[in-house]
Amino acid sequence: MEQCPFCDIVKGVGPVSTVYEDDNTMCFIPLQPIYPGACIVIPKPHIDHFTDVPDDLAAQVMVTAQRVGRKIREVYQPLKVGMVVHGFGVHHAHLNLVPQYDPLDITYKHLAYIENGEIQFGLKPLPTPTRDELDAMARSLRLDD
Ligand SMILES: [Zn+2]
Protein backbone atom coordinates (compact mmCIF):
# COMPACT_ATOMS: atom_id res chain seq x y z
CA MET A 1 0.00 0.00 0.00
CA GLU A 2 1.23 3.47 -0.79
CA GLN A 3 2.31 5.77 2.00
CA CYS A 4 -0.74 7.29 3.69
CA PRO A 5 -0.28 10.28 5.99
CA PHE A 6 -3.59 9.61 7.75
CA CYS A 7 -2.65 5.98 8.46
CA ASP A 8 0.63 7.34 9.89
CA ILE A 9 -1.45 9.60 12.17
CA VAL A 10 -3.54 6.62 13.28
CA LYS A 11 -0.31 4.67 14.01
CA GLY A 12 1.08 7.59 16.00
CA VAL A 13 3.88 8.28 13.52
CA GLY A 14 4.84 11.96 13.46
CA PRO A 15 3.26 14.97 15.12
CA VAL A 16 -0.49 15.52 15.09
CA SER A 17 -2.75 17.93 16.92
CA THR A 18 -5.46 15.54 18.06
CA VAL A 19 -8.89 16.82 19.03
CA TYR A 20 -10.60 13.49 19.63
CA GLU A 21 -9.92 9.78 19.29
CA ASP A 22 -11.88 6.61 19.97
CA ASP A 23 -11.50 3.00 18.83
CA ASN A 24 -12.75 3.67 15.31
CA THR A 25 -12.47 7.39 14.52
CA MET A 26 -10.07 10.26 14.97
CA CYS A 27 -10.34 14.03 14.68
CA PHE A 28 -7.34 16.33 14.27
CA ILE A 29 -6.38 19.81 13.06
CA PRO A 30 -5.09 19.95 9.45
CA LEU A 31 -1.66 21.47 8.86
CA GLN A 32 -3.28 24.42 7.08
CA PRO A 33 -6.73 25.01 8.56
CA ILE A 34 -8.95 27.28 6.49
CA TYR A 35 -9.93 28.96 9.78
CA PRO A 36 -8.99 28.26 13.39
CA GLY A 37 -11.12 25.33 14.49
CA ALA A 38 -11.24 23.58 11.13
CA CYS A 39 -10.84 19.83 11.65
CA ILE A 40 -10.55 16.56 9.79
CA VAL A 41 -12.48 13.49 10.97
CA ILE A 42 -11.38 10.07 9.72
CA PRO A 43 -12.30 6.43 10.12
CA LYS A 44 -9.16 4.66 11.41
CA PRO A 45 -9.04 1.90 8.77
CA HIS A 46 -7.53 2.89 5.43
CA ILE A 47 -10.42 3.24 2.98
CA ASP A 48 -10.03 5.52 -0.02
CA HIS A 49 -13.59 6.33 -1.06
CA PHE A 50 -15.91 7.59 1.67
CA THR A 51 -18.75 5.72 -0.03
CA ASP A 52 -16.84 2.46 0.65
CA VAL A 53 -16.79 3.09 4.41
CA PRO A 54 -19.12 0.50 6.03
CA ASP A 55 -22.41 2.02 7.18
CA ASP A 56 -21.78 1.62 10.89
CA LEU A 57 -18.33 3.16 10.64
CA ALA A 58 -19.62 6.03 8.48
CA ALA A 59 -22.22 6.68 11.17
CA GLN A 60 -19.48 6.77 13.81
CA VAL A 61 -17.50 9.28 11.71
CA MET A 62 -20.62 11.44 11.52
CA VAL A 63 -21.23 11.24 15.27
CA THR A 64 -17.64 12.34 15.93
CA ALA A 65 -18.13 15.19 13.41
CA GLN A 66 -21.38 16.20 15.10
CA ARG A 67 -19.82 16.33 18.56
CA VAL A 68 -16.73 18.23 17.48
CA GLY A 69 -18.88 20.47 15.26
CA ARG A 70 -20.91 21.49 18.32
CA LYS A 71 -17.69 22.32 20.12
CA ILE A 72 -16.49 24.40 17.15
CA ARG A 73 -19.73 26.41 17.35
CA GLU A 74 -19.29 26.90 21.09
CA VAL A 75 -15.62 27.91 20.98
CA TYR A 76 -15.25 29.78 17.66
CA GLN A 77 -18.85 30.87 17.08
CA PRO A 78 -18.95 30.66 13.28
CA LEU A 79 -22.30 31.28 11.59
CA LYS A 80 -22.41 27.64 10.48
CA VAL A 81 -20.23 24.53 10.64
CA GLY A 82 -20.00 22.87 7.24
CA MET A 83 -19.13 19.25 6.57
CA VAL A 84 -17.35 18.45 3.33
CA VAL A 85 -16.37 15.09 1.89
CA HIS A 86 -14.65 15.73 -1.42
CA GLY A 87 -12.31 12.76 -1.55
CA PHE A 88 -9.30 14.58 -2.98
CA GLY A 89 -5.99 15.34 -1.35
CA VAL A 90 -5.21 12.41 0.93
CA HIS A 91 -6.71 9.14 -0.38
CA HIS A 92 -7.98 8.06 3.04
CA ALA A 93 -11.67 8.81 3.57
CA HIS A 94 -12.05 12.02 5.57
CA LEU A 95 -14.69 14.53 6.48
CA ASN A 96 -13.72 18.20 6.72
CA LEU A 97 -15.36 20.28 9.43
CA VAL A 98 -15.41 23.86 8.16
CA PRO A 99 -16.21 26.83 10.40
CA GLN A 100 -18.16 29.15 8.10
CA TYR A 101 -18.47 32.91 8.41
CA ASP A 102 -19.66 33.44 4.84
CA PRO A 103 -21.71 31.27 2.43
CA LEU A 104 -18.68 30.86 0.16
CA ASP A 105 -16.50 29.39 2.91
CA ILE A 106 -17.91 25.96 2.08
CA THR A 107 -16.46 26.31 -1.42
CA TYR A 108 -12.98 26.80 0.01
CA LYS A 109 -12.77 30.15 -1.75
CA HIS A 110 -9.60 30.74 0.25
CA LEU A 111 -7.80 28.16 -1.89
CA ALA A 112 -8.10 30.30 -5.05
CA TYR A 113 -5.18 32.40 -6.22
CA ILE A 114 -3.86 33.78 -9.46
CA GLU A 115 -0.53 32.57 -10.83
CA ASN A 116 0.83 33.24 -14.31
CA GLY A 117 -2.44 34.96 -15.17
CA GLU A 118 -4.55 31.88 -14.40
CA ILE A 119 -6.78 31.00 -11.47
CA GLN A 120 -5.24 28.19 -9.44
CA PHE A 121 -6.55 26.27 -6.44
CA GLY A 122 -4.33 24.93 -3.70
CA LEU A 123 -3.12 25.30 -0.16
CA LYS A 124 -0.64 28.06 -1.06
CA PRO A 125 -2.82 30.99 0.13
CA LEU A 126 -3.57 29.41 3.51
CA PRO A 127 -1.55 30.28 6.59
CA THR A 128 0.70 27.60 8.05
CA PRO A 129 0.35 27.77 11.83
CA THR A 130 3.13 26.46 14.07
CA ARG A 131 2.68 23.10 15.80
CA ASP A 132 2.10 24.99 19.07
CA GLU A 133 -0.71 26.97 17.42
CA LEU A 134 -2.24 23.78 15.97
CA ASP A 135 -2.01 22.11 19.39
CA ALA A 136 -3.75 25.10 20.99
CA MET A 137 -6.60 24.80 18.46
CA ALA A 138 -6.86 21.08 19.19
CA ARG A 139 -6.92 21.69 22.96
CA SER A 140 -9.68 24.28 22.55
CA LEU A 141 -11.92 21.66 20.89
CA ARG A 142 -11.33 18.63 23.10
CA LEU A 143 -14.65 17.17 24.12
CA ASP A 144 -13.65 16.16 27.60
CA ASP A 145 -12.57 19.64 28.73
ZN1 LIG B 1 -4.77 5.66 5.18
Distance 92 CA to ligand 1 centre (A): 5
Distance 38 CA to ligand 1 centre (A): 20
Q: Which residue pairs, CB below 8 angstroms and at least 24 apart, start in 23-31?
A: 24/57, 24/60, 25/57, 25/60, 25/61, 25/64, 26/64, 27/64, 27/65, 27/68, 27/97, 27/141, 28/138, 29/134, 29/137, 29/138, 30/96, 31/128, 31/134
Is the pLDDT assigned to residue 79 strictly greater than 60? yes
**140 contact partners, CB below 8 Å, separation of at least 6:** 37, 75
Distance 115 CA to ligand 1 centre (A): 32
Higher pLDDT residue, 82 or 87?
Answer: 82
Is the pLDDT assigned to residue 95 strictly greater than 80? yes
Distance 90 CA to ligand 1 centre (A): 8
Is the pLDDT assigned to residue 74 strictly greater than 70? yes
- Which percentage of the chain shows pLDDT scores above 70? 99
Distance 100 CA to ligand 1 centre (A): 27
Distance 74 CA to ligand 1 centre (A): 30
Give the predicted TM-score (pTM) of the model: 0.91
Distance 136 CA to ligand 1 centre (A): 25
Domain count within the chain: 1
Kindly report the CATH number assigned to the domain that includes residue 70. Answer: 3.30.428.10
Give the range of the structural domain holding residue 29, as residue numbers without chain letter: 5-141
**pLDDT tens digits along 27-52:** 999 999 999 999 999 999 999 999 99
Is the pLDDT assigned to residue 143 strictly greater than 70? yes
